Structure 1
Amino acid sequence: MARQSISFTEPNDKWLNEQVDNQEYSSKSEVVNDLIRQARNQQIEIDWIKAKLEKAEKSGFTNDSKEQILAQAKSLNE
């Protein structure tokens, strides 16, 4: 595992410490890694939405229902 040295603002450091103190996480590193994982997953969803929008703009209209579109979006999280 790569080691990094990073600095936090006081409010962010306080929040990180609270997460560890509340036993949500065992260390600040664990909190930061979880936040990065969440951001990466969020970026995957954003990229998927962008791709769907670009495809829709180029193709015109879709025959998919809003329920089908929602189901497709939710399947990304599985």
Structure 2
Amino acid sequence: MNEITVYTTSTCPYCHMMKSFLNKQGLPFKEVNVQLDPAAMQKIVSATGQLGVPQTQVNGQWVVGYDPDRVMRYVQA
């Protein structure tokens, strides 16, 4: 079972693209909206040094931005 968390904001078009991509792949994920959860924003900045979204954690690995190929590299078949 893959553990996927997508950190998003409400207005980010790439966040919507990432969620849509994961849905099309049939990959369940948890969404954390960092606009509503400032502590989560601090967590991702601490983990990756990046402020932008989407940031997706896939089985412990971070993918910054909309990068479907990289996401699929970390997904377990």
Normalising by the residue count of structure 2, what TM-score does the alignment of the two structures yield?
0.26
Q: Identify, as 1 or 2, the structure richer in strand.
A: 2
Q: Identify, as 1 or 2, the structure richer in helix.
A: 1
Higher RCO (CA-CA < 8 Å; seq separation 6+) = 2
Normalising by the residue count of structure 1, what TM-score does the alignment of the two structures yield?
0.26
